[in-house]
Structure 1
Amino acid sequence: MHPPALLRFPTYVLGKLHKAVRSEMGTSPREHWVLVYLEEFDELSQQQVSTALGIDRSEVVRLIDGLEQNGLVVRTRDAVDRRKYRLSVTEAGSAERRRTDELIEAAAQRVLHRLDADEQRILHRLALKALGEDQALSD
């Protein structure tokens, strides 16, 4: 049961939806975020990933350490600045990303089951519009 005083805030409700999907997945989506980001923008530094995803640098280091230990990401020294690492997704990382995409989609369907397909699309479009990313989906 949620307090009505909190339910009046869309950000509270959207945060609860996110938490429900994460709970349905049984895992944290942060590793997935990193894999997706690195596939979209290859050869980034840990600092760039931290800034782009809004995740604390020490947490990004921990995430990258785990992804590297699992063979999902490779760190290589930056040729220009040897103090930095460049990150790349491995084939196994791409496969893990696709597997997690499916987990997220299935978890979202379970959480959003009270909405029909049109309502789910509208919710998605409105959330994208609120973020200023409404051009991300085309009809």
Structure 2
Amino acid sequence: LGTPLREHWVLTYLAERADISQQEMANVLEIDRSEVVRLIDTLEKAGLVTRTRDPEDRRKYRLAITAAGERRRAETDAKIIAATDVLLARLTPEERETMHRLSLKALGYDADEI
């Protein structure tokens, strides 16, 4: 893919939400805050994410995706979709939907809420 999936997850989460904290990102990814700091350092150096002080609490940082980060996320999404299409080419659209729904259920998600 050209991008580690963990970085892609961060970019995707930031693209779907406006301006979140590093702590929220750590909670969502279920990883230690120090690991989030390293991950965001990498993305920030690459120009994919910005990190700014929270105006209400100077001890916290707020994260946002940049235009370059959004382009990288979209490119990676396109590669994932293409790979998925190749992998699932023998399934009908209905079979793909069933597999997706059952996969979510197996992972503990309610497919109707997603």
1:80 paired residue among 56, 61, 77 = 56
Q: Displacement, 1:114?
A: 4.3
Q: Which has the higher strand share?
A: 2
- Equivalent residues in 2 for 1:84-123 (5 A)? 84-123=60-99
Using the size of structure 1 for normalisation, the TM-score is 0.71
Counterpart in the other structure of 1:19: none
Counterpart in the other structure of 1:135: 112
- Equivalent residues in 2 for 1:16-35 (5 A)? 25=1, 27-35=3-11
8 A Cα contact 2:3 2:76, kept in partner? no
SS in 2 for 1:87: strand
8 A Cα contact 1:128 1:136, kept in partner? no
SS in 1 for 2:52: strand
Q: Which runs of 5+ in 1 are unaligned?
A: 1-24
Looking at CA atoms only, which structure, 1 or 2, has the larger radius of gyration? 1
Supply the distance in 2 between the matched residues of 1:127 and 1:84 (Cα, whole angstroms): 36
SS in 1 for 2:59: coil
Counterpart in the other structure of 1:70: 46
Work out the percentage of aligned pairs sharing the same amino acid. Answer: 54
Q: Deviations over 1:60-80 (max 9, x none)?
A: 222211111111100000112
Supply the distance in 1 between the matched residues of 2:77 and 2:65 (Cα, whole angstroms): 15
1:50 partner amino acid: A
Supply the distance in 2 between the matched residues of 1:35 and 1:118 (Cα, whole angstroms): 29
SS in 2 for 1:42: coil
SS in 2 for 1:84: strand
